[in-house]
Amino acid sequence: MKKAIPANGKIAKDAKETVQECVSEFISFITSEASDKCQREKRKTINGDDLLWAMATLGFEEYIEPLKVYLQKYRETEGDSKLAGKSGEVSVKKDALGPHGGASGTSAQGMGQQVAYNPGMVYMQPQHESSRK
């Protein structure tokens, strides 16, 4: 949130809490749609592609391309980690899906599936009305 306001700007505590609530709701919204898809396909694991599909289905197409790039880089990094000798079960990890960051260390659970969200993704900066014209 701090990146979207001037350097001397401040954010009230209730504003931060409200945005956190919105981010949590957004994560649940996307995850629920992806979970429904997985249930229809008789799969138990939600993956990154399922989340991207859910976002497209729910009308968030403008976020998909940067997230596809991130997902590809994540998979390449995860592949490198496996080659380096890491063993054990690998969970699908995704960042919070909002355009301004998200809930670090939060996980969304539903229908027996878990999708972990990691911090560190580079997000698109919001466009201001003047730059859209």
Query: 97-114: per-residue pLDDT in tens?
Result: 334 333 333 333 333 333
Helices (H), 41-115: 48-57, 64-83
In terms of pLDDT, which residue wins out, 12 or 80? 12
**Angstrom distance (rounded) from CA 7 to CA 123:** 19
Instruction: Tell which phi-psi region holds residue 6, choosing left (phi > 0), alpha (psi between -120 and 50) or beta.
Output: beta
Mean pLDDT value across the chain: 73
Find out whether 110 and 51 touch, Cβ atoms under 8 Å: no
Q: For the ranges 2-16, 53-67, 78-92, 101-115, which has the lowest average pLDDT?
A: 101-115
Q: How many CB atoms lie within 10 A of CB 25?
A: 10
**3-49 per-position pLDDT tens digit:** 999 999 999 999 999 999 999 999 999 999 999 999 999 999 999 99
**DSSP E strand stretches across 1-133:** 93-94, 107-110, 113-117
